[in-house]
Amino acid sequence: MDTNGNILQLNNIEVMYHEVILVLKGVSLQVPRAGIVALLGANGAGKSTTLKAISGLLKHENGRVTDGSIEFMGERIDRRSAEEISRQGIIQVIEGRRVFEHLTVEENIKVGAHLNTGAKMRSGVDKVYAYFPRLKQIRERTAGFCSGGEQQMLVMGRALMTNPKLMLLDEPSMGLAPLLIKEIFEIITRLNREEQLPILLVEQNVKLALAVAGYGYVLESGRVVMDGTADSLRDNPDIKEFYLGLTDLGTRKSFREVKHYKRRKRWLT
């Protein structure tokens, strides 16, 4: 473990796609052991690219870390393959809920630990069902016929089967009904608390992310423009204005007003 108590550290990383498109421009962040850290920002800010840089998935998209370094448990990993990184215990739950549609729910879960057999496999499946009781109820259902929320639970359960040391979650609430979102975020909190599982969470729903995370970073155009404790970010006027949609008076601003202010802010900087 890193002596400063962080399981993951990004040191001023730059990421380039196709050798010409600079997407991340000096991103530094830390994930403490057993902590939840939120990565916030608008579409196109570089959040998913940051996760892929950590998990090694950039290479599949003709991208690479061109400067800086990524350290996991004190070891540099940014030059390793996705397979090596996942074997070290970093598991990314990719946006889009990619299940094996023709397999049942339980078969999908077992894919997460295909090298385990017998009692070890069964105890892993039982642990997944303890956190995701809904999956136990539908374990014989073909995964392609599951709802979006059930598929989100399934990919998280499958990731849990690998006994991860760090989980990267990309937009777990996307496209889900409010009740399911609440259920999934309660499970995220339990996983962190009961399994001591560190989580780096990319989430468009800023209010939700800051409710479960202890610390957050705000990305804009490939740079970290703000970071702090969840409480300090929640109280920050810029966060209230642009991500929570509230003015100082606590009233929701119209999209047109926010857009105008954003334009003015951009011209002045």
Structural domain contains residue 260: yes
In a domain, 131, yes or no: no
Q: Determine the straight-line distance between the first and last CA of the chain, rounded to whole angstroms.
A: 40
CA 28 to chain centre: 16
Is there a domain that residue 132 lies in? no
pLDDT value, residue 115: 59
Of 83, 134, 81, 85, nearest in space to 106 by CA: 134
Would you say 31 and 166 are in contact if contact means Cβ atoms under 8 Å apart? yes
Residue 29 tokens read as 């962040």
Confidence band of 255 (pLDDT split at 50, 70, 90): very low
Q: Where are the alpha helices (DSSP H) in the chain?
A: 47-55, 82-88, 105-111, 118-131, 133-137, 148-160, 178-195, 206-212, 230-234, 237-242, 255-268
pLDDT range class, residue 168, cuts 50, 70, 90: very high
Task: Please indicate, yes or no, if residue 247 is contained in any of the structural domains.
Answer: yes
Query: Tell me, what's the pLDDT at 3?
Result: 46
Instruction: Clarify whether residues 193 and 93 are in a common domain.
Output: yes
Is 111 part of any domain?
no
In whole angstroms, give the CA distance from residue 69 to residue 10.
6
In a domain, residue 149? The reply is: no
CB 135 within 8 A of CB 180: no
CA 241 to chain centre: 23
Does 247 have pLDDT greater than 70?
A: no
pLDDT tops 60 at residue 262: no
Tokens matching residue 41: 């920002």
Give me the residue label for tokens 């549609």: 101
Percent residues over pLDDT 90 in the chain: 73
Are 195 and 222 in the same domain? yes
What pLDDT, on a 0 to 100 scale, did the predictor assign at position 116? 63
One-letter amino acid at 196 equals Q
Chain mean pLDDT for the chain: 88
Verify that 252 and 185 share a domain, yes or no. Answer: no
Q: Provide the residue range defining the domain that includes 83.
A: 6-98+163-230
In-domain check, residue 117: no
Q: How do 223-229 and 199-202 pair as beta strands?
A: unpaired
pLDDT above 60 (res 65): yes
Query: What is d(CA 106, CA 36) in angstroms, rounded to the nearest whole number?
Result: 28
- Specify the pLDDT at position 98: 85
Q: Tens digit of pLDDT for each residue in 89-126?
A: 999 998 777 899 999 999 999 987 765 667 888 999 99
Residue 126 in any domain: the answer is no
In the numeric block, the tokens 């970071």 are attached to 227
Residue 233 has pLDDT above 90, yes or no: yes
Residues 175, 253, single domain; the answer is: no
CB 217 within 8 A of CB 206: no
Confidence of residue 153 (pLDDT cuts 50, 70, 90): very high
For residue 93, what is the domain's CATH number?
3.40.50.300
Provide the number of structural domains found in the chain.
Answer: 2
Contact 205, 243 (CB under 8 A): no
d(CA 171, CA 94): 8
